[in-house]
């Protein structure tokens, strides 16, 4: 049975970095649509499908969010196309989106919670040049929305506080694509 693995976690937990690395290893990614303009290093059809608001509003979304006055959404077509063709695929999504995907995919969807402690999150934001007020706001928002407790409903929990490759290998092992066994 084909599986879709949803990666969730608090902000700055490394979800995007994990998904990019999994893509590099050939794991298909469910790609969301957005109305925001692409960042300089982003590519249409790889990071997001970049569309205008009029186009976005005509699409059939499984889940949709308005974040910082930009729209983001995952279409039913994108989900079914990848889930039906590929033995394994991955999506970076929030818990609400996961619950909507679960209704569509049932047992073909599994949840991986990407655990990171708040000190690591703060340090990552500081390295990105964020100011303390913004960091405080983002953490308070995540706490208010239970993003630090979503591990309780996850099928799997990985800790992403060390090298990224360690977390990626844990996820590949969950997907049964690599072994974490140490040879004797």
Per-residue pLDDT of the chain (184 residues; tens, 9 = 90+): 899 999 999 989 999 999 999 999 999 999 999 999 998 989 999 999 999 999 999 999 999 988 778 999 999 999 999 999 999 999 998 888 899 999 999 999 999 999 999 899 999 999 989 999 999 998 998 899 888 999 999 999 999 988 999 999 999 999 998 665 555 5
Task: Please give the backbone phi and psi of residue 127, each rounded to the nearest 5 degrees, phi first.
Answer: -65, -25
66 domain residue, yes or no: yes
Q: For residue 181, is it within any domain? A: no
- Is 105 domain-assigned? yes
- How many whole angstroms from its chain centre is CA 41? 18
Is residue 113 domain-resident? Answer: yes
Q: Which pLDDT belongs to residue 10?
A: 92
Q: How far apart are CA 90 and CA 82, in angstroms?
A: 9
- Under a CB-based contact definition with an 8 Å cutoff, are residues 167 and 14 in contact? yes
Domain ranges, residue 36: 3-174
Contact 134, 29 (CB under 8 A): no
CATH of the domain at 69: 3.40.50.300
| pTM of structure | 0.88
The reply to whether 180 falls in a domain is: no
Q: Which two tokens stand for residue 164?
A: 């990224």
| pLDDT at res. 177 | 84
Q: How many domains does the chain have?
A: 1
Residue 182 lies in a domain: no
Distance CA 162, CA 154 (A): 21
Measured N-to-C along each axis, helices 118-127 and 132-144 cross at an angle, to the nearest 10 degrees, of 140
Q: Is 121 exposed, middle or buried (0-12, 13-18, 19+ CB in 10 A)?
A: buried
At residue 163, the pLDDT reads: 92
């Amino acid at each position: 049975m084909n599986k879709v693995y949803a990666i969730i976690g608090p902000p700055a937990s490394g979800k995007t970095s994990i998904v990019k690395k999994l893509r590099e290893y050939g794991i298909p990614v469910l790609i969301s649509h957005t109305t925001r303009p692409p960042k300089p290093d982003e590519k249409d059809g790889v990071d997001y499908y970049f569309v205008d608001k009029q186009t976005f509003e005509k699409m059939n979304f499984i889940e949709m969010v308005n974040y910082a006055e930009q729209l983001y959404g995952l279409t039913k077509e994108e989900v079914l196309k990848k889930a039906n063709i590929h033995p394994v695929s991955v999506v970076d999504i929030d818990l609400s989106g996961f619950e909507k995907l679960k209704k569509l995919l049932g047992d073909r969807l599994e949840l991986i919670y990407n655990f990171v402690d708040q000190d690591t999150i703060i340090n990552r934001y500081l390295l990105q040049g964020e100011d303390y007020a913004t960091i405080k706001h983002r953490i308070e928002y995540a706490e208010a929305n239970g993003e630090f407790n979503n591990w309780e409903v996850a099928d799997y929990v990985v800790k992403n506080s060390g090298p990224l490759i360690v977390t990626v290998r844990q996820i590949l092992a969950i997907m049964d694509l690599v072994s974490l066994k140490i040879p004797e």
